[in-house]
Structure formats: C-alpha cells, structure tokens
Structure 1
Amino acid sequence: MDRKLDNDVLDAVGPRLRALRRDRGLTLADLAASTGVSESSLSRLESGQRRPSLELLLPLARIYDVPLDDLVGAPRTGDPRIHLKPIRRFGMTFVPLSRQPGGVHAFKMIIPAQPERLEPTPQTHEGFEWLYVLDGRLRLVIGERDLVVPPGEAVEFDTSLPHWLGSADGGVVELLILFGLQGVRAHVRTGPHRSSRAGSRR
C-alpha cells in the first residue's frame, strides 16, 4: 500500500475506526493501552481532525485483526478472497459464513467486552444451534442451567428452550455457530461409522 492515502478515502477512515472500536467493545483508553497511541490522537483520528498515517493505522489493524486496506476502504481489485459483511444484532457481531437460503447456516459470532456483569435476558425461537468457542469464556444460559464454556468446547441445544449468550468474565468471546431451522441438527461424527444389519436387534 502506498504511504500516501488518496484524499477521496480519508473522510471515511474516522467513522470506520470508531465503528470497529465499538464493535469490539473497546474504549479509547483500552485502545491507547493496547497500541501505545495516545487517547487524544485516537479521538482526533476517529473524528477526522487528524490525518491517518501508516504509523497510526498499522497498530490499529493489528489490534482489530483486519487488513490495512479494510481500514481505509481501499478497492479490492484482483483480490481473490471472499469478503463477508458483518451484521450487528443485540450488541453482538455476526459474520455470515454461508449463503444458502435453506439448511444449516454458519456464522462467526463476536461478543464484545462487558465491563459489568449483564443480567441474562433469555430468548426462544424455532431451530437448533451448535456452537464452538474459539476464544474467551462463554456464559451460556439454557433454561435453568447456567454454564461456562471455555475455548475448544462445543455445545448444541434446541433454541425453543429459553437461552442467552454472554461473556463469563467480561472479556471478548469469539465463537462459531451452526444454526438449523425447523430442528435441523449438526451431526458430529466422533469415530468410525459402524453399520448394523437390519433386523439384528434382539
């Protein structure tokens, strides 16, 4: 990327940075501590009062874990990757990983940092959900059960039961979700498939 940023993309950098920070549930103080950039510089960058530079944008790209081109809205000419549009709902970010109209839908879900412990507000809807925690500690309330799910563990449940997802320790949580409508479940094979002959039951 050229060290000089085109003038026609500069105006959108500040709002894009502010949206990313809020999506991650970070304050300017949090960001300053992580990047070494002062709060005043970050604030002026987000408000458009300071011109973006590589010295400012590189540490932000690392913290947000996004390509530098995404921060400045550079065109994706010749880029073979598929760029998916995040969706914000209920204060959380969902990145759709599948596009088929039916069947099982896959999402990456990001629960932002929660400085204060939230009171669960369980919801119900038709379907079945399978989730796998990538990072952070997930608090999962299902009916009367209140669970903590650490990274590397998976859970599946019927979404017609009252359920709620949040952070168990106030930190950011990242997880993968498979959601099936009308009770479609995700089948996980844990060992070699063994077929049985019909009529072998005794």
Structure 2
Amino acid sequence: MTQEDTEKIVRQRIRGLRLARGWTLDNLAARSSISASTLSRIETGHRRIALEQLVAITKALGTSLDQLVEPEGNEDVVIRPEPESVSGATLWLLSRERDRRGVTIAKMRITDDRESSDPQVHPGYEWFTVLSGTILLRLGTRTIMVYPGQAAEFSTMTPHSLQAHQGPAEILTIFDQDGAQAHMPGHRHAPGRRPADPRSAE
C-alpha cells in the first residue's frame, strides 16, 4: 500500500467518523480548533494533513492515532467455512479466532432425529435466529417454539437445550466464550484459525 493510499483511507475515516457522530464540519472545527474550511480540504484531499492537525482531529473524534492511521488490512476477508459434526448437528463456523468481540458466530443445522441432550447451564447469554424450520427451545420449565424470522436471547444460567421440530431447522447463532466451550467442546479450529502447535504446551 502506498503513502497516497494510506492518506486516502485516513481522510475517509475522518469523514466517516464525523458523519457517524452526526457532526457538520463546523461541529468538528469547534472541537478540534481547526477551521471548517481546512477540515473540508483535508477530507477532500486538497490539503496535506499535518501531524498536529491529525492529533487534534483524533482527540476531537474520540479515537486513537493508531486506529486512524492503521493500514488497510490485506488479509482475506472472506470466510469459507467447512461443515463439522458437533453433538449430532452440522455446524459452519462463520467467525475467526482473532474476532475482537470475543464471540463465536455459527450457522447450525439441526435435524429432528438429533438425540435429546441434557439441558446445559453456563455463564453468559446466548442468541440465535431461525433461518428455516422450527426450533423447540427448552428453557428452564418452559418449552418455546421459535419460527423462521424470529430470534431468541436468554441467560444461559437457565438450563437450556435446542431441538428441531417436525423436520430439520437451520439457525444463525452467537456464542460468547463460555457458550462456545459448552456447546462445541470438540470443534476443530475456526476458519482462519491455525491449529495450536503441540510444542507450545511443552
């Protein structure tokens, strides 16, 4: 990536963050002590950005200098999940190990002949939406039917289990770290995740 490409990305980030906050150029000017006309020329590429201006803009936007000037990533952004068999269901992992949100995102296909498992309990929250079919959610003493287009969110300290009802069902689900460990104890490395080096445990 060239210096010109990096500067273009920085200008786009400045403008994008300003607009995301609903600020006009005058609003950013008041917060950064840089004139609106100068900010306009910076955003449109008609003026080079001096370091002191960049620092002032960064503080005004509530971000860090590192985030503002971070080079555009060159990694492959497309995840190509491979189906895995997990606890009688088929799972496609849709997130990477380096996901900063600390969550695992997956698509899961559950068939109605899946063996019923004991309800599980673990810290945190769980969320899923039904893509197709119907999910029978056992949550504590309740049995809840969740249909396509509907979503469910619940505390996982409540005993819970999922089953397909009258045919296969597909869901998109988000697990936090505790949920992933509880529901996918034997899963392989996620897309983009490298297997651990066994020597590292020595």
Same fold per superposition (TM over 0.5): no
Instruction: Tell me the TM-score normalised to structure 2 length.
Output: 0.45
**Who wins on radius of gyration, i.e. which is larger?**
2
Flag the structure with higher helix content.
2
Instruction: Tell me the TM-score normalised to structure 1 length.
Output: 0.45
